[in-house]
Structures are given as structure tokens and as C-alpha cells.
Chains A and B, each alone.
Chain A
Amino acid sequence: QVQLVQSGAEVRKPGASVKVSCKASGYIFTSFVIHWVRQAPGQRLEWMGWINPGNDNTKYSQKFQGRVTVTRDMSASTTYMELSSLKYEDTAIYYCARGNREWDYWGQGTLVTVSS
């Protein structure tokens, strides 16, 4: 069965970076784009960027351009989202999701807390 399994919760200080992983299984890794989305407490879902594992193309939200980097490891069927220069307002749950049009499978979410 299709699964996206994310890494565990993280705590970082302001100015630091965080890297969250999303391991895919149960389907052909290169067949679907992987998106990264975040949800701050009580807020709407916010798209950050995507990667096409097949050709390594990426696209980022203008809001996060320069601070977010999405990469993939083909041998591990895993994508990574790294967010740098963390601010308190980056405290959120970060999700990966599979989808070229409809996003039919999601990771369980990773809580990133930015705290001094």
C-alpha cells in the first residue's frame, strides 16, 4: 500500500535550519510529484514547494524562495525539505503529499517548533 512516512518532531532555535524527510513506499517513486505544505497553529494549509523525483525539477512558493530547499534521494525513495533562517512563526506542522493533480496520499506530519 502507498505510504509516506515522515521524520519525527524537531525543535530549533531562531536562525537555525531544519531538514524533514518523507519516505515513500508502495508505488513507483518517480511517477508522482511530492509537495511540501505547512500548517501553523489554527491557520490554513500553505504550499511551500514541490519536487519531481523523476527529473529532480523543483518549484517553490515565492514566500519561501531562498529559504526552502527540496531534494530527493532516489536510492531511498525519500524526499527532504530543508528550511533555513528559522523564525518563531515557522512553528508549524509540515506535511509531504503525493500528487500530480489531486493529492491522494499524505505523510503523517512533522511538528517543527522554533523556540529559544
Chain B
Amino acid sequence: DIQMTQSPSSLSASVGDRVTITCQASQDIRNYLNWYQQKPGKAPKLLIYDASNLATGVPSRFSGSGSATDFTFTISSLQPEDIATYYCQQYDNFPLFGGGTRVEIK
């Protein structure tokens, strides 16, 4: 079975900081990786699909990169409204989510 390791599990950064989250798959998943944002009490929201494509209406400060087993999600300039938990998700076989990264403002 594929395993997804997401890190860090939480981070604290200042407004305007660059924030990076990584997701590692235990085997090659090509570019079959999405990133979601989830705010408390809300359903997840798609941000990035196919590893690097920005979903419709998502601000350009969000970006994704990577392929095969190593993937990166970046917020270029953290904003107060970005406080949330972020999840990677692979869909190469059975869908599987990473453990999540809680992003807080310092």
C-alpha cells in the first residue's frame, strides 16, 4: 500500500512569510497529487491539482511542484486568511490523504 508522509505536522509563521509543506509518497505516483485547504468546521477546498495546477479562483500565492515521490506546496506570502490545515492527497490508486499540516500565525 502507498504511504503518504506529510511534514511538518504544524508550523507557525509571520504574515508575509514564505511557507513550504512537503509530501512524500512511498512509491511513484507520477503527478497524481492534489493539495487541499481545510478551515475549522468546513469541508476541504481544492487548491492545487495534478501536483502543480492552480484550481479555479485560487490566489496565485499558492503553488505546488514535484513528481514521482516528492512534492512541495508553497504559500509565497502568508496571509491571515490562510490559517488552516493543509492536506496532500494522492489518487494514483486508492485515494489517500497525508496527515495534514496546521498553519498558524506567529
Which residue of the partner chain B has the closest CB to A45? B97
The answer to whether B99 has its CB under 8 Å from any CB of chain A is: yes
How many whole Å from B95's CB to the nearest CB in chain A? 4
Q: Which of B46, B49, B55, B97 contacts A47 (CB 8 A)?
A: B97
Considering residues B46, B91, B95, which has the most beta carbons from chain A within 10 angstroms of its beta carbon?
B95
Interface membership of A80, Cβ < 8 A: no
CA distance A95 to B45 in the complex (A): 12
* Interface set, chain A 97-116, CB cutoff 8 A to B: 97, 101-104, 106-109
Contacts of B98 in A (CB 8 A): 44
In the bound complex, do residue B46 and residue A44 qualify as a contact, i.e. CB atoms below 8 Å apart?
A: no
Asked if B94 contacts A47 (CB within 8 A), the reply is: yes
CB distance from B45 to the nearest CB of A (A): 8
How many residues on chain B are close to A (CB under 8 Å)?
A: 22
Task: Choose from B43, B91, B100 the contact partner of A95 (Cβ within 8 Å).
Answer: B43
Q: B73 an interface residue at 8 Å Cβ cutoff?
A: no
Q: Which A residues touch B97, using CB under 8 A?
A: 44-47
Given contacts A106-B44, A108-B43, contact A101 B96 (CB under 8 A): no
Q: Scoring B residues 74 to 104 as 1 if CB is less than 8 Å from chain A, else 0, what string do you get?
A: 0000000000000101010011111110000
Contact assessment for B43 and A106 in the assembled complex, using a CB-CB cutoff below 8 Å: yes
**Residue tally, chain A, CB below 8 Å to B:** 20
Residues of A contacting B34 in the complex (Cβ-Cβ under 8 angstroms):
101-103
**What chain A residues lie within 8 Å of B99 (beta carbons)?**
44
Which residues of chain A have C-beta atoms less than 8 A from B55's C-beta?
102, 104
Distance A37 CA – B46 CA, assembled complex (angstroms): 14
Can you report 7 A-B residue pairs in the complex whose CB atoms are below 8 A from each other?
Answer: A61-B94, A102-B34, A102-B46, A104-B46, A104-B55, A104-B56, A106-B43
Interface residues of A (CB under 8 A from B): 35, 37, 44-47, 50, 59, 61-62, 95, 97, 101-104, 106-109
Q: When A and B form their complex, which 5 residue pairs have the shortest distance between CB atoms, in order from nearest?
A: A102-B49, A106-B43, A47-B95, A45-B97, A104-B46
